Structure 1
Amino acid sequence: MADFFPGRADGQPGLALFLNAGDPPLEVLVDVLVALDALGVDCVELAVPFPDSVTDGPVIRRSAARALAGGVGLPETLAFVARTRQLLRRTRIALLADWRFSLKDGAPDELARRVADSGVDGLLVHGLPPRLRPAWQAAVEAVGLPVVGTCYQGVSTPQTMAMAARQATAYLYLVAHYGRSGTRASNGFASLAATITSLRGLTNAPIAVGFGVTSRADVAAVAAAGADAAIVGSATVATVERSLANRSDVAAEISEFVCSLQQPAPATNS
């Protein structure tokens, strides 16, 4: 199984970025992923674009609309991963697919095989109905596909958190607060510490925190709360949006943004 956040061993917080496949266009996105890999970004959550997400704010919704207008769906996303994954030495790809828009009409075992065969390192199924979870769990286990589990601070019941923790084999995504992406909890990330401590006893998977993470200070705060990694979504997508609007180099713009998030390298004695 891939270690999604190997930097934890050095005391550095892991970093995951969210992007929609097709925004920027796939021929540009490959350069973005190669640049992120060179910068040591641990993971890209690559979403198969889908419309009208109730959990996403306007930035990510506009991104999905641009990608869908470009004709990117599940087949195009999997083909992109298949030809791009071999270019990456460090960065893992966690695929996010919406059940209703991308997976509803397929059999779980066939879809899980297609996803695994593309070379992705993990799968997060968005909006999966509870009645279908056993079938999907069996399907991904059968093909050895690591799972990204998800739970929500302050909303998920203890039973839901325990189930998500048990099923997570890639990493456990703890959403910092219930709401739309691009927003943050008024009390910051320190209040997550007790939840993270509790989850530690339920899973061996690393714990990553997202929603409201936009700066180096936020990444540090997430790490201080005990998480293994921070997930940066809307701020990453907003960088893409500005670059596309300005017709600038998307890979260069995102690289600059990532450098602003990363912890400075420790000083060495000369």
Structure 2
Amino acid sequence: MTRIDDTFVRLKAEGKKAFVAYLMAGDPDVARSLAVMKGLPAAGVDVIELGLPFTDPMADGPTIQLAGQRALDGHMTLGKTLQMVRDFRAGDATTPIVLMGYYNPIYSRGVDRFLAEACEAGIDGLIIVDLPPEEDEELCIPAQKAGLNFIRLATPTTDDKRLPKVLQNTSGFVYYVSITGITGAAAAQATDVGPEVARIKRSTDLPVIVGFGISTPEAARDVARVADGSVVGSAIVKEIASGKPVSEILAFVATLAAGAHSA
């Protein structure tokens, strides 16, 4: 049982849906990024997705691309991202952290070294968007053996023939991408998402969390009603980019969390 597993067991017992928040590590700098991250649990965030900056983020829209570029311009690295997690863990031993990003930085560091450091730092799961199930031996299976959840993305184009392969070695939760395309590109519609979530849940006992295209408390609520929770990324990243005080950013996050939890 990881922190992710424990969190979903608790939420189910409480009759609540999950709220997952994404932020880019080191955007616009480590101090501000860490200050936001430390405030997320008190704002109602159940799981933190921490973006790993990368030069070629193919699944991300302009908002998250720019966040990654700001972080890279500030000399953010995988090593500094892991240190951010350690600094967070110094004050929070329970909130799950999922590292979300691309395989290249991990490959460059070396899988064995990365997994040892990730576990030591306090990461609970990985979402690596450019590693398909056909490459599970590369990172997914070693990560699971190391005690990390490996969370897979399902999309509107994941048909019934493909779905079993996607679910094969997935753990923690399934991340359903509500729209075709990149992050922040369109609004998620609960009426479209509901049948797809139900279809996935017929094939797995894992929670199904929905992300992409959710930017308001109402959308977080509506999507959480038809899933096990909702994810907000681009809308939070925009707040960070605006230069607003951390307290205002966290107040915005709290409204999103309240929306999801009211489902």
Output the TM-score relative to the length of structure 2. Answer: 0.89
In structure 2, give the amino acid aligned to 1:221.
Answer: D
Distance 1:85 1:160 in 2: 37
Secondary structure at the residue paired with 1:134?
coil
**Matched-pair contact (CA < 8 Å) for 1:209–1:231:** yes
Q: Deviations over 1:121-149 (max 9, x none)?
A: 11111212555322323211221111111
- The answer as to 2:231 corresponding to 1:256 is no
Alignment of structure 1 residues 175-186 onto 2, 5 Å: 175-184=177-186
User: Which segment drifts farther, 46-55 or 89-98?
Assistant: 89-98
**Matched-pair contact (CA < 8 Å) for 1:149–1:164:** yes
**Which structure: larger Rg?**
1
Distance 2:165 2:112 in 1: 21
Structure 1 runs of 4+ with >4 Å offset: none
In structure 1, give the amino acid aligned to 2:212.
Answer: F
User: In the alignment, what sits opposite 1:172?
Assistant: 174
Q: Deviations over 1:35-76 (max 9, x none)?
A: 111123111110110123222111111111100011111111
User: In the alignment, what sits opposite 2:210?
Assistant: 209
Shift of 1:238: 0.3
Shift of 1:159: 3.8
User: Which segment drifts farther, 87-96 or 256-265?
Assistant: 256-265
Secondary structure at the residue paired with 2:152?
strand
User: In the alignment, what sits opposite 1:160?
Assistant: 162
Shift of 1:4: 3.8
Shift of 1:233: 0.9
CA root-mean-square deviation = 2.1
User: In the alignment, what sits opposite 1:135?
Assistant: 138
Distance 1:11 1:181 in 2: 29
**Matched-pair contact (CA < 8 Å) for 1:37–1:90:** no
Shift of 1:89: 5.1
Distance 1:134 1:140 in 2: 10
Distance 1:160 1:109 in 2: 29
- The answer as to 2:56 corresponding to 1:61 is no
Unaligned 5+ runs, structure 2: none
Percent of aligned pairs with the same amino acid? 28
Distance 1:89 1:114 in 2: 16
Secondary structure at the residue paired with 2:182?
coil
Output the TM-score relative to the length of structure 1. Answer: 0.87
**Matched-pair contact (CA < 8 Å) for 1:165–1:199:** no
- The answer as to 2:88 corresponding to 1:88 is no
In structure 2, give the amino acid aligned to 1:164.
Answer: V
Distance 1:230 1:43 in 2: 10
Alignment of structure 1 residues 1-270 onto 2, 5 Å: 1-2=2-3, 3-5=6-8, 6-88=10-92, 90-100=94-104, 102-128=105-131, 131-153=134-156, 155-184=157-186, 188-225=189-226, 227-243=227-243, 248-249=244-245, 251-263=246-258
Q: Deviations over 1:164-188 (max 9, x none)?
A: 33322221100001111112257x1
